[in-house]
Every structure is written in structure tokens, then in C-alpha cells.
Amino acid sequence: MAKFPDGFLWGGATAANQYEGGWNEGGRGMTLSDVTTGGTNLTPRMVTWKDKFGNPHASPEHGFSLPEGGEYAVLEDYYYPNHKATDFYHHWKEDIGLFAEMGFKVFRMSIAWSRLFPTGMEEEPNPEGVQFYKEIFEELKAHGIEPLVTIWHFDTPLYLVEHKGNWTNRELIDLYVRFAKTCFTEFKGLVRYWLTFNEINNPIQFIDFVEGADDQSYQDAYQTLHYQFVASAKAVQVGHEIDPDNMIGCMICGICNYPLTPDPKDIAKCIYTWQRNLFYSGDVQALGEYPIFAKKLWAEHDVALDITQEDMAILKAGVVDFYSFSYYMSNCVTTHENTDKASGNFVMGAKNPYLTYSDWGWATDPEGLEIFCRLVWDRYHKPLMIVENGLGAIDKVEEDGSIHDDYRIDYLRKHIEAMKNIIGEGIDLIGYTPWGCIDLVSAGTGEMRKRYGFIYVDMDDEGNGSMNRSRKDSFNWYKHVIETNGEEV
């Protein structure tokens, strides 16, 4: 039976926009999530805004663009779950203490861009923001926990979204690089592991599910990706210059796709899905150039990109040190109609009759994790890190305060067993940080009830709750897994 290597990075993952809160404290500027309401699996999250006459509106977040003269606004009649989130801002010492109790070797978190650069346009960072993260990293170090820092986790400053055209504007590259450079400089010696962009392939992967996605939407999604690739590659170079010990990775949303039937058309569609959703982004970041099928993908939607010769050189010089990804589920693709659809907030492929599904329609498939690891290892030969994995579920608090989340233990156990298998094959897997190691706000639905944590946080979908932390059954289970370096799961 294979063993996890010594020094394997066991830990957990979070992101500022879903966990940190303190949205209007410490000089932080706003982001899109501050004007996004909660939703459910069936009702979309809404973005709130005012038109040029000052009339309030709420529109579904996907596919939304602000009309001429409009501005994003926090409206009185709505609740915004990301404002407080689960309040890492005021609980970080206590939370890090709990992570240490579980024996974490690594803790994944993100830096809120707008806490360092409130509008994104400032020349110098907000000292209060820098100080906040410094204290956190020092606390982690004191507990022997290595921080793994995502530089961008969906939280571009709202000013840049509203006034600069978001990531379809080339200017965003240098603004991001200034932010990244500040992080590398200010936190040098405290942080060694970095991820440039969370789930960089997200916009292209989910575009098919945006209603009414036209060629312009594809144009914007591919252009956004290109500018983010260049920004990421520049950040990798800057990060290595500032500290050659820095290990900088990409982060890909890793969904394992299968053909629903043996119809060659389904096989072809499946390969296409791998190319577009995964290899397109992975190749640019891990190999330093666009794959040949990129041209085919662009031609499908008449996409014409702003790509310069200099950009190509930057991509080549800014190849990542390791390949990280999220893995929650697999998905079936088909060219056939009338198939049973899996309902998930984004992933609505055909339902796989061999798998079971979560309450949010996500398929549990540890085998898919093995397949995914093999394919990306064969392609890139870079160390792999699984930086998100887990089961979003409703937890019941018993009268005595205990929480028996055996379903979560079961899900994680199966995926850890899968990791053992691929390590046994010689694949260089270096770390595992299950998602939402402490309960936080769901990205897809904005719900609190979709929980992933080992640590429960008393907070509901309407914002009621004490924010008290408590240990679920999975807390002690995971502690034991880490203690035995994965020997006993």
C-alpha cells in the first residue's frame, strides 16, 4: 500500500471574499461580491445597482453588465452574505488556533486586493491592510503552518469593474502586477507558496451555462483569460526575482469530463471539453504557450484577441512551478438530447447513472480525481497540489452541540484513498487543502447552509448567528488523518 511522502502538505483552504468579512473596515475598498445577494441552487444570486435616474435594481449575476450611466449599489432591502462572511477579520487568532489543533501543515487563504489597494489605482498599499495580513502570517508561522496564498480569488476591486471595463482592459495587467509585487515584497520570508489566479478557467468553463452567451461573451471571456495569463506570468517572474525560494502555482477548476455514450460524437465532444476547459488554461500557464487547438476554439466564435509578441515572450518566461487545482466532481457530456440532467448551480451536464449526487447536484467521484491527476501529470510533469475538494452539505447541530457529519468524512476519506493510489503510481502530489475547512459563504449560491467545514460557524443565510466556532466530528477525524500522515483514514 502506498504511503504519503514525509512533509506532505495537509491543510485546508479558504478565500477572503467568502471568509474574511470586515468589508467596510480597515480601509478596504469594495468588490463585486459586496453588491451580490444570496441565492439558492434554483434562484440565482443578484447583483444590485442603480440606474442613471437613481432607481434601484437587482439582476442575476451571470451575464450581467452594468448599463450606461448605472452604478453598483448596496441597497437597503437586501442581505449581502459576503459583507461579514464568517468573520475571519475578527476571529483569525482563534481560527488559526483551531487549524493548528488539527495539525495543519499548510493553510490556504487569499489576500483581498481591495484591502491593499481599495480602488486598485493607488500607487502605495493601504498600511492597515498590509499589517492585517502580516500578523496573520506571523501567527501561522508561530504554529508551524505554511501559508498558501491566492493572490486573486474572484475579488477585483469594484472600481476597476465599474470604471475600467474589468479584465477585458489590458490596463488590469499592470494593476494586478503592482498588487502581486506588493504581496511578494511585504510578505517576503513569511509566505513561500503562492497561487496567481483562482480557477482561472472558470469563465470559459461555465460560459455554456450562461443564458444567451453570444460571440461577444466568448470574445470577452477569452480576452479576460489572455490578460490574466499575461498578468500571472509576469507575477511569476516578479515573484522569483524578489525571492528565488518562492513556489508559484496556477490554479485550475478541475472537473473530470466523461462521454455519456460510446458514440464517437460523444467521445469527440468529451475531448473537446478537456481541451477547452482544462488544457487551454493549463498549457498556457504550465507550458508557456497556447496549444494548437486554441485557434480552433477562437474561430468557433469569431474571437479576435489582442495578443502581442511581447505577451508571448512573457508567457514563455513565466511558467509556473507547480500545478494546483480544485476537484469536486466529474461531469458527463453528450451530443444526445433528452438525457437526464444533473442539476448543479453551474454544472448541468448529463447525469451519470453510476454516481451519487450531493444536495446541490454535484457528483461524488473519487475515481475521477485519479483520472484527472494522471492526465495532468502526464501532460505537465509538474508537482500537483489539490487545493480544493470537499462536500457541500447541510449540517444538523444536535441538542448537545455536536455535529455528526459522517457524510463529509465518507466523501473526504474516498478522495484521500484515491490520492494514495496516484501517489503509489509515482505521481508527485505535494499537498491537499480541502475547501472551506471552516464554514464560509458559498461562491455559487451565496448560502451558508452549503457547508464544507471541519469547524462549524454559527451563522445562517439571513445573517443571524453568534459566529461561534465548534468542532464537527470530521474535525477529530481529519486531525487523526494528519497525525498518521494519511495512514489511518
List residues binding ligand P53 (CB under 6 A). Answer: 15, 18, 198-199, 253, 326, 328, 345-347, 388, 392, 435, 442-445, 450
Residues classed as catalytic = 199, 388
Compute the residue count for the chain: 489
How many angstroms separate the CA atoms of 455 and 158, rounded?
A: 31
Q: Is the dihedral of CA 159, 28, 194, 443 positive or negative?
A: negative
Please report how close the Cβ of residue 405 comes to ligand P53 at its closest, in angstroms: 16
Please report how close the Cβ of residue 459 comes to ligand P53 at its closest, in angstroms: 15
> Which grid coordinates are listed for 89?
477579520
How many angstroms separate the CA atoms of 333 and 257, rounded?
A: 7
Please report how close the Cβ of residue 188 comes to ligand P53 at its closest, in angstroms: 26
Contacts of 270 (CB under 8 A, 6+ apart): 257, 258, 259, 333
Looking at beta carbons only, is 126 or 201 nearer to ligand P53?
201
Closest CA to 198 of 39, 435, 23, 360: 435
Q: Is 420 helix (H, G, I), strand (E, B) or coil?
A: helix
Please report how close the Cβ of residue 453 comes to ligand P53 at its closest, in angstroms: 12
Looking at beta carbons only, is 85 or 423 nearer to ligand P53?
85
Closest CA to 99 of 436, 431, 410, 489: 436
Please report how close the Cβ of residue 21 comes to ligand P53 at its closest, in angstroms: 15
Looking at beta carbons only, is 154 or 218 nearer to ligand P53?
154
- Parallel, antiparallel, or unpaired for β 46-50 and 71-72? antiparallel
Looking at beta carbons only, is 94 or 359 nearer to ligand P53?
359
Please report how close the Cβ of residue 328 comes to ligand P53 at its closest, in angstroms: 5
Position with the least CB separation from ligand P53: 444
Half-sphere exposure at residue 115, Cβ-oriented, CA atoms within 13 angstroms: 24
Residue appearing with cell numbers 446541490: 360
Looking at beta carbons only, is 320 or 423 nearer to ligand P53?
320
Looking at beta carbons only, is 18 or 182 nearer to ligand P53?
18
Cα angle 329-334-337, degrees, rounded to a multiple of 5: 120
Q: What is the CA radius of gyration of the chain?
A: 21
Q: Are 38 and 45 in contact (CB under 8 A)?
A: yes
- DSSP β-bridge partners for residue 60: 46
